Amino acid sequence: MLQKFRGEIYCLLGALFFSSSGIVSKIVLLDEISAWRLTQARTTGAFLILFTFYIIFRRSELKPTKKELPWLLLFGLIGVALVQALYFVAIERMYVGVALLIEFTAPIWILLFLRFILKKHVPSGLWYAIILAFSGLLLITQIWNGLTLDRIGFIAAVFSAITLAGYFLIGDHLSKTKTTGAIAVWGFGVCSFGLVFIFPIWEYPIDALEKDLNLLGVFSNYSLPAWVLVLWIIVMGTIAPYLLTLAGLKILSASTASIFGMMEPVLAGIIAWWWLSESLTAIQLLGCLVVIVGIAIADRARQHTAKV
């Protein structure tokens, strides 16, 4: 039975690991490690592990052409560094589930880019998706009450969605000539290299990694060293879900796998409710549902657009 549904299991586990890492990241961010420093630790760790694998077993896949190099650099800066840093800023200041829901409006930004920048035809379903998604965001933020969510966190989440759209667009362009794994190695590598100049590695707050952090919520009676949580984010929150999603994609169609990907904000909300007792009002829950429906419609429209 499990063998029959292994593709679905891979994708669901990938979404589960991604969403659970958001909770762990929030615990780390509540201490002395900034969003940018956590981004640096996550991307550098993921790069070193993946690079070691590729340099030993698939070295030829890493070599870029002159045309690929600028796009690989752009992918690392926008699709990796900014996406993660802005996401960390968002979850540091607001509920993880809400931050992820806003970030997952990326398919809508992609379609807007295709329609108004590239002047491509997009199906009419796009407009229904936009109306639904942004109506949902209004319900979540309850803007008529003076914006109940943290303003900086909300803005960071919106820009995280825009940069995530850039991640998909640039990644889609690069995937025509490079393997997904090689793109990831370059993305993590460029991000890590760039952050070294802004945040020198020799000034990294090592002392903060040695501190014991309270796990909060249902695990408030327990603590773990910060470096253990950061290692979890690198391995189980970055590399593992990435490989699981790839394994699922090999078995399922892209459209089916993308639906499982949209489970991430839902799972994050459930985990945050169970672990941290984060709760939403009835109106905000309705807004979450409306956003998810809008994203689903937009994602289907994007897939249709890619075929025409």
**CB-count burial class (<10 Å; 0-12, 13-18, 19+) for 202:** exposed
Pick from 2, 97, 18: nearest CA to 261: 18
Angle, helix 35-57 to helix 180-198, in steps of 10 degrees: 140
- Per-residue model confidence as pLDDT tens digits over 193-232: 989 988 998 899 888 899 999 998 899 999 999 999 999 9
Asked if residue 1 is part of any domain, the answer here is no
- Per-residue model confidence as pLDDT tens digits over 285-301: 888 888 888 777 776 76
Q: String of b and e for 17-43 (b: at least 16 CB within 10 Å)?
A: bbbbbbbbbbbbbebebbbbbbbbbbb
Asked if residue 246 is part of any domain, the answer here is yes
Higher pLDDT, 4 or 59: 59
Query: pTM score, two decimals?
Result: 0.80
| Predicted confidence (pLDDT) at residue 121 exceeds the cutoff of 80 | no
Asked if residue 101 is part of any domain, the answer here is yes
| Predicted confidence (pLDDT) at residue 275 exceeds the cutoff of 50 | yes
Asked if residue 197 is part of any domain, the answer here is yes
Tokens coding 52: 């070691």
Please report which confidence band the pLDDT of residue 249 belongs to, taking 50, 70 and 90 as the band edges.
low
**CB-count burial class (<10 Å; 0-12, 13-18, 19+) for 4:** exposed
**CB-count burial class (<10 Å; 0-12, 13-18, 19+) for 137:** buried
Asked if residue 76 is part of any domain, the answer here is yes
List the beta bridge partners of residue 214: 223
Q: How far apart are alpha carbons 139 and 144 in whole angstroms?
A: 9
Asked if residue 11 is part of any domain, the answer here is yes
Domain count, the chain: 1
Range of the structural domain that residue 10 is part of: 6-307
| Predicted confidence (pLDDT) at residue 143 exceeds the cutoff of 60 | no
